[in-house]
Copies of this chain bind each other. A is one copy, B any other.
Amino acid sequence: MDTCSPKQVLTMKDLTTRQQEILTFIEHYEWRNGYWPSIREIQEKFSFKSTNAVMGHLRALEKKGSIERIPGQARTFRINRPDAPEMNEIPDEATEVVDIPVMGDIAAGYPDRVEPAGEIGRLQVDIASAGYSSRRRSFALQVRGDSMVDAEIYEGDMVVVEPRDPRDGDIVAALIDGETTLKRYIQKHGEPPYLKAENKFYPELYPINELTVQGVAKAVVRSL
């Protein structure tokens, strides 16, 4: 993820700051909970004293094409993302569809039901092209370095991590020297666990403390 993202193509009608905030909250909410927020939940979030404040913004967002709703039905949103930068003109880079947060530093773990801290971008994987449900909470990390090449994970790949306790053999996202890296988690029968790089040129072993392991890598995604 580069610092400047000229990718913010504003295909869609520009949103006001407030509208953007509302939209972001709605997306975030669904992301974390698996279902959409109700008008009143949005109202509460922004401390509006009337649901009509929300209604106004929703109407605006709908008119600008950012969202769709089913009139009268509860919690039935549909977000119209800028539809993947029409990756037709730019045949490189990820071509995508699903939106999952890319964390820069997840040292503090991933807070449940709270705005993610340390989000540095979003990974949009074509996976989402399919529809899908949810299990929120996972996040993605982009691989740097070649410490996992023996596991066929290369620099640039996105690794989907789910925060949970690791078991022997799992590849985990670990915080080492203030940096989040991927390592193999080894824990043999009764012995103390340790981490190991998957690159024969990195015969390194790493000790573990409570806060080291941030989650278990569950999938590798490489945009072609």
Contacts and interface: CB of A to CB of B under 8 A. Distances in A.
Contact of A221 (B33, B84, B127): B127
A125 B126 contact: no
A22 interface: no
Interface in A13-42: 27, 30-36, 38
Contacts of A81: 133, 135
A190 interface: no
Contacts of A88: 167
B35 A134 contact: no
Chain A, interface residues (CB within 8 Å), range: 35 or more
A134 B98 CA distance: 7
Given A33-B78, A38-B74, A128-B128, 9 more contacts: A31-B131, A31-B132, A31-B133, A97-B135, A97-B218, A126-B138, A130-B134, A131-B132, A219-B222
A222 B88 CA distance: 24
B133 A99 contact: yes
Contacts of A136: 129-131
A47 B133 CA distance: 25
Contact of A126 (B101, B130, B160): B160
A74 B74 contact: yes
Nearest to A70: B35
Contacts of A129: 100, 134-138, 160, 162, 218
The 4 closest A-B pairs by CB, nearest first: A100-B130, A129-B138, A31-B131, A74-B74
A218 B221 CA distance: 10
A91 B187 CA distance: 14
Contacts of A137: 129-130
B95 A128 contact: no
